Amino acid sequence: MDAARRDRLIALIREQGERVTTARRALVTALVQAKGHVTADDLAALVQKAQPDVHLSTIYRSLDALERIGVVDHVHLGHGRAVYHLADEPHQHLVCEVCGAVVEVPDATFAELGDNLHRRYGFTIRPNHFAVLGRCRACARD
């Protein structure tokens, strides 16, 4: 488990003038350990396993708070539920419609497209909110 990363994220909460509660700390820890994208329900289960005294409603409220503070972000990878990931390493998502693989690509991947759309249509895209769907390298070969 990357304790340094967790400590950085906890420090970030404090820097925003926000309290570091048991639930918030447990959520950040669970996300660092999970190393990926986790649904709110799976996160709640992980936190309850680590901190059985924390109420489920507190966990969901804390997740919302962490998102508001900017420590956590959610993304829609497909038809299923939104998943949560840490916001300290911004990236974009490509999802394979065939095998479900999630490919993380650099945050600036859609920068040129974004500039273009803004110039032509005055529209500001937020590509990190939804994944771009398609076929991964392995599935495209078939």
Residues that bind Zn ion (CB under 5 A): 85, 96, 98-99, 101, 136, 139
**Is 43 exposed, middle or buried (CB count within 10 Å of its CB: 0-12, 13-18, 19+)?**
buried
Minimum CB distance to Zn ion smaller for 13 or for 95? 95
> Smaller CB distance to Zn ion: residue 18 or 104?
104
Interior/surface letters 62-94, b for 16+ CB within 10 angstroms, e for the rest: bbebbeebebbbbbebeeeeebbbbbeeeebbb
CB of 106 to Zn ion, least distance (A): 12
| Distance in Å, CB of 61 to Zn ion, minimum | 17
3-class DSSP state of 39: coil
Q: In angstroms, what is the minimal distance from the CB of 120 to Zn ion?
A: 25
Nearer to Zn ion among residue 56 and residue 99 (C-beta): 99
Q: Which of 54/87 has CB closer to Zn ion? A: 87
Instruction: Kindly state the smallest distance separating residue 102's Cβ from Zn ion, in Å.
Output: 8
**Residue 80 CB contacts under 8 Å (≥ 6 apart), including other chains:** 39
